[in-house]
Copies of this chain bind each other. A is one copy, B any other.
C-alpha cells in the first residue's frame, strides 16, 4: 500500500488485533499504527508479490510496458492552506509517488466524494488547482467519478487520485535498493507542509508565513535520472516525515542509515513552530521534497543536476547508507554522539494530506 506499509521488518507489533478494536486517528498517521493496520488487515488479505514490494507505487508489467501505478486518498483539512489546497495536493502526491519508482507520470484518474451543501465555487477552485498542477507536471486527468453524500457524512470534499506512469527501461529504483556506501540526498527543507497546514487551522498560536512545499517532483526526478544511472532509492517523506520514510527504506533495504543533524535543512520558522508545539521536524510531513540514495561516485553529479531545477535548488547531502545496524536510522548530533531515530509511533498531525 502507498506510504510504504509493507516494510514488515521495521514494524513492532505488540498485540494482535482483536474484535473489540476500532479505527483511531493514529491508523491514518503513516507511522507504526498505519503499518500495523495495513499489514494485518490489508496485506494479509490481498497478499501478492507486487503489493509486497512495499514502495509508494506498484511496479506493473502489462503487454511489455513497464508501468508504475499509485493511489492516494486525500482528506486534508482545511481544503485551502498557504501554498496549496486539496486539489494541488491530490495531483502532486500521486504524481510524486508514481515518479519515485523512476517513472514518468502520464495519466491520472480522480474520484470525488462531495458533501451535500458544498458550494460549487469551492469545488471549482479545487478543480482549477488540479488542472494547474497537472499542467505543471505534464499529466492528463483521463477518468473520474463523482459521488455525493449527505451533510455531515464528509468534510466538504475528499478526492482520490490514481496515477499511471512509464518506468525507465533498465533503471531499477525502489526502497529495497539502498546499498551500503550510498549517499543520502535531501532535496530541501523539511516540515514546511505540516506546519503550513497547522497554521491554516489556527493551531500554531501565532501567525506565520510558512508555505506548504506541495509540488510535482517528476521533472526534478527526470533530471536526476538523466544525470546518473546509479540512483537506487527515491522517496517523498510525506506522512510520518523524513524519520518514518528513512526507517521504511532501512527496513526494506536491510541497511542502516546515518544522518548528520547539522546537514538537515529546516526553515527557521518551521523550527520555531516545532519548538513551541513540541514537534520534531523529522516527523513533520512534506509534500514537495524527496530523499535519494545514490552511489557515492555519482552523488556530486546528481546534486549539481538537482540544484539546476526549481524544486531541487536547496538539495544537500544529509548522510550515508551503512551496512549496520540493519533496519536502523541513526542521527549524529555531535562528534561521536548519535541517537536512534525511530518511525513515528502514534498520531501527531491528523488530516495532513
- Which A residues form the contact surface with B (CB < 8 A)? 1-3, 5, 17, 19-28, 34, 37-38, 41-42, 45-46, 48, 50-51, 57-58, 60, 62-67, 69-75, 106-107, 109-121, 123-124, 127-128, 130-131, 134, 140-150, 152-155, 158, 160, 162, 164, 166, 350-351, 353
**What CA separation (Å) do A320 and B3 show in the bound complex?**
50
Residues of B within 8 A of A118 (CB): 22-23
**Known interface pairs A63-B65, A153-B154. Does A22 touch B117 (Cβ–Cβ under 8 Å)?**
yes
Residues of B within 8 A of A3 (CB): 145
* Given A37-B146, A73-B113, A149-B351, 17 more pairs with CB closer than 8 A: A2-B143, A20-B119, A23-B115, A26-B148, A34-B146, A41-B127, A46-B131, A46-B141, A46-B144, A48-B142, A51-B143, A62-B107, A63-B64, A69-B142, A70-B109, A71-B109, A71-B110
Complex contact A57–B143 (CB within 8 A): yes
Q: List 21 A-B contacts (CB under 8 A).
A: A1-B145, A2-B144, A19-B119, A22-B117, A23-B116, A26-B148, A34-B146, A45-B130, A46-B144, A50-B140, A50-B143, A51-B140, A58-B142, A62-B65, A63-B64, A64-B65, A69-B143, A73-B160, A74-B147, A75-B147, A164-B164
Interchain nearest-CB distance for A10 vs B (Å): 17
Residues of B within 8 A of A70 (CB): 109, 143
Complex contact B107–A69 (CB within 8 A): yes
**Known interface pairs A57-B143, A62-B164. Does A112 touch B73 (Cβ–Cβ under 8 Å)?**
yes
Interchain nearest-CB distance for A163 vs B (Å): 9
**What CA separation (Å) do A114 and B350 show in the bound complex?**
13
Residues of B within 8 A of A127 (CB): 41-42, 45-46
User: Of the candidates B1, B41, B128, B142, which one forms a contact with A50 in the assembled complex, judged by CB atoms under 8 Å apart?
Assistant: B142
Complex contact B58–A146 (CB within 8 A): no
Find the B residue at minimum CB distance from A112.
Answer: B73
Complex contact B37–A119 (CB within 8 A): no
User: Of the candidates B37, B152, B160, which one forms a contact with A152 in the assembled complex, judged by CB atoms under 8 Å apart?
Assistant: B152
User: Of the candidates B17, B131, B155, B351, which one forms a contact with A120 in the assembled complex, judged by CB atoms under 8 Å apart?
Assistant: B17
Complex contact B1–A41 (CB within 8 A): no
**Known interface pairs A51-B142, A70-B143. Does A148 touch B25 (Cβ–Cβ under 8 Å)?**
yes
